[in-house]
């Protein structure tokens, strides 16, 4: 009898969880994922024009040779006809079929893991009560699913509470909807301010969940192994912002899994949101951005107009003489970009150094399981796009090491079983980038 009751309750909980997860895919019925191989310039330019101006499709990846995008049922026949006229080949997959397969491979917030973690962060939980094995078990739990905003803040504040001598938890400001844009400062001694700063941020695009986990994993591993990284951290402060776009991130969990922009709403308009990665004030709205409010690459009303962007700008400008590395983590594609992205044939004077450091970081990443990154400017590998953080940090603030990192994956939803592996391989690259900060 009790077994039947427990089984019934379990089935009900599974059904409720399934319904909850399905909510963020509402509205995508009938959408199709296209993988398009386009080897000619006409097809590439057509794709760039679509990304900038068409609102019934969504680009997941756009390079000079291929694109991955989703198309609404209303645009499907017109889109396929145009592809046929251009003579390009493509593959299709129903979007809901893909997401069902991915979600079957994923786990979400595990209440037991969260509860165990929170218990260990209480003020009376001494070091003797936190053996390393338990700490490692908690970390494996946290990095086996995609946490929500409040869980992320709890994890960050927990690290600061556990390592108060080496870690400081703070807020850079608030988002459009009033959420904290939280940061962690990690250094060997918080009482003295190191001369150099390595700034790393993630999740400027709400749907890129894996990026937040890699930056949180960096914080966890550095703080858990400070002795091992003393030389890396010597005279270097690592400043991490794992969730630059908290509103967009939460919205992807509750309402729209593929939401990219922030949640800036405009009175009298049905469309909302600004692409934070088109909003920075270096060659703002020059290329690869749009002034169509409904576009996925809408650049906002003016440079640095968004509270999320301006919070980052304030921090970087205030610390511009100390920040030597700016690293913006995105997903997906396995790319490391350095400036400039706003124009194809524009390269910075220190391109040799930028490329050399990126190659070293890519080499370290590849040692874990053979992942290979492509290195260059986004304008040469993908397409021209202005208003990005790497262009702003390098071109406007003079930060010498400025990069955008596009993590591995075939879509935005990395299966939960692969989260820890992406975190571990990316960690090696992060450490290599940070190691070069001490040279400036």
Count of beta carbons in the 10 Å neighbourhood of residue 373: 20
- Cα separation, 152 vs 135, whole angstroms: 17
Residue keyed to tokens 């893909």: 98
Give the integer Cα–Cα distance in Å for 150 and 143.
15
Q: How far apart are CA 265 and CA 274, in angstroms?
A: 9
406 carries an active-site annotation: yes
Catalytic residue among 208, 296, 384, 406: 406
Taking CA atoms, 203 is separated from 56, 242, 429, in Å, by: 23, 7, 18
Name the 3-class secondary structure at 275: coil
Residue for token pair 């021209």: 384
Q: Is residue 68 classed as helix, strand or coil in its secondary structure? A: strand
Where does 162-310 show beta strands of DSSP type E? 167-174, 180-186, 196-202, 236-241
Q: Compute the distance between CA of residue 17 and CA of residue 31 in angstroms, rounded to an integer.
A: 23
- The Cα–Cα gap between 399 and 255 comes to 37
Take residue 371 and report the two structure tokens written for it: 């992942």
Going by C-alpha positions, the residue among 398, 157, 360, 197 that lies closest to residue 282 is: 398
Active site residues: 406
């Amino acid at each position: 009898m009790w077994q039947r009751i427990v089984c019934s309750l379990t089935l009900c909980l599974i059904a409720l969880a399934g319904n909850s997860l399905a909510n963020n895919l509402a509205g995508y019925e009938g959408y199709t994922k296209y993988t398009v191989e386009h080897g000619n310039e006409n097809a590439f330019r057509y794709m760039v024009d679509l990304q900038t101006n068409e609102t019934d499709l969504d680009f997941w990846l756009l390079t000079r040779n291929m694109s991955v995008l989703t198309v609404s049922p209303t645009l499907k026949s017109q889109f396929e006809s145009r592809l046929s006229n251009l003579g390009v080949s493509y593959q299709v997959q129903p979007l809901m079929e893909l997401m069902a397969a991915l979600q079957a491979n994923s786990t979400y917030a595990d209440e037991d893991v969260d509860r165990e973690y929170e218990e260990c962060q209480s003020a009376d939980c001494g070091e003797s009560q936190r053996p390393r094995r338990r700490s490692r078990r908690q970390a494996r739990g946290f990095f086996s699913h995609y946490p929500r905003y409040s869980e992320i803040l709890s994890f960050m504040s927990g690290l600061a509470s556990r390592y108060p001598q080496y870690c400081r938890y703070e807020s850079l400001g608030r988002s459009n909807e009033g959420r904290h844009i939280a940061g962690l400062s990690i250094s060997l001694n918080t009482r003295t301010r190191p001369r150099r700063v390595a700034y790393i941020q993630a999740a400027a695009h709400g749907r890129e969940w894996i990026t937040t986990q890699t930056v949180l994993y960096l914080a966890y591993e550095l703080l858990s192994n400070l002795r091992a990284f003393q030389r890396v951290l010597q005279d270097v402060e690592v400043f991490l912002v794992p969730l630059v776009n908290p509103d967009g991130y939460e919205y992807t969990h509750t309402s729209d899994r593929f939401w990219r922009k922030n949640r800036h709403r405009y009175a009298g308009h049905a469309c909302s949101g600004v692409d934070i990665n088109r909003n920075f004030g270096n060659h703002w709205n020059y290329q690869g951005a749009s002034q169509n409010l409904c576009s996925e690459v809408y650049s906002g009303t003016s440079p640095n107009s968004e509270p999320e962007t301006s919070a980052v700008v304030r921090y970087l400008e205030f610390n511009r003489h100390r920040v030597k590395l700016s690293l913006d983590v995105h997903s997906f594609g396995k790319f490391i970009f350095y400036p400039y992205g706003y124009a194809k044939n524009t390269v910075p004077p220190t391109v040799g150094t930028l490329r050399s450091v990126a190659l070293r970081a890519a080499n370290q990443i590849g040692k874990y399981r053979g992942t290979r990154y492509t290195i260059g400017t986004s304008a040469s590998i993908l397409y021209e796009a202005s208003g990005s953080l790497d262009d702003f940090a390098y071109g406007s603030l003079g930060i010498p090491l400025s990069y955008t990192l596009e993590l591995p994956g075939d879509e935005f939803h990395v299966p939960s079983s692969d989260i820890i592996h992406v975190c571990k391989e990316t960690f090696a690259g992060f450490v290599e980038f940070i190691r070069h900060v001490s040279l400036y």
